[in-house]
Amino acid sequence: MFHSSTDLGSQVLMIYQEMDHRIKRLQDATGLRCLTGCGTCCENPSVEATVLEVLPLAEQILMMQEEEMILAAIEEKENQVDHSCILYRPHGPDSEKGKCTYYAYRPLLCRLFGFASRRNKFGDLEFSTCKILREKNPGTVRRAEIALFEGLDIPVYQDSFYRIGSIHPDKGFRRLPINLALKAALEILYWKRPRGWRDAA
């Protein structure tokens, strides 16, 4: 079955919204939250995504007419051999805390990190959070572990990656450094856009 890239992006975004809802239930039940202003995971140069996972993000960048700026910034980072995410701003204006500039459209790993479970080698679910939360809020992490044990439905890393990838295996299973995945998604959408699409939007 043929799927346009925009249709694929809409499907992915719907799944993201469902996952966000499940993560919010975990947060409401346990009080588990990222530390204010923390962007340690965003600074990790090893973050990867598939082209499919960043299609909603690329779609929004095109709608905001920022694709040329983003692509130029990605190229500059490539020249500097800097693999950190192009969308993360460590420090905002007036000493504002760092943030993701497209937070609502962030890819799968960025949504799940710190708030999902994974299957161990025996197939059992284990809560998987970040090192900082374990160190700073061990009691809250323990509540999350208990909630998972008692049956709270939260996303599972392996299942979530497979669910997204299976929508379109060609675009959904090959993992790339996040900037390269975004670059590929932007190029796919840019060349497939009908002439005058912004005026129609």
Calpha distance 201→189 (Å, rounded): 15
Domain of 147 in residue numbering reads as 5-200
Name the amino acid, one letter, at 169: P
Strands 116-119 and 97-100, bridge-based pairing: unpaired
The count of domains in the chain is 1
Q: For residue 99, give the H/E element and its range.
A: strand 97-100
Strands 116-119 and 125-128, bridge-based pairing: antiparallel
Choose between 190 and 148: higher pLDDT: 148
- HSE-CB at 52 with a 13 A cutoff on CA atoms is 24
Tens-digit pLDDT profile for residues 100-151: 999 999 999 999 999 999 999 999 999 999 999 999 999 999 999 999 999 9
Tens-digit pLDDT profile for residues 17-37: 999 999 999 999 999 999 988
Calpha distance 139→198 (Å, rounded): 49
Task: State the pLDDT confidence band at 99, using cuts at 50, 70 and 90.
Answer: confident
Residue 3 has pLDDT above 70, yes or no: no
Calpha distance 49→42 (Å, rounded): 13
Calpha distance 113→129 (Å, rounded): 7
Residue 192 has pLDDT above 80, yes or no: no
Task: State the pLDDT confidence band at 11, using cuts at 50, 70 and 90.
Answer: very high
Tell which residue, 118, 109, 56, 60, has the closest CA to residue 85. 109
% of the chain residues with pLDDT over 90: 82
pTM, 2 dp:
0.87
Residue 191 has pLDDT above 80, yes or no: no
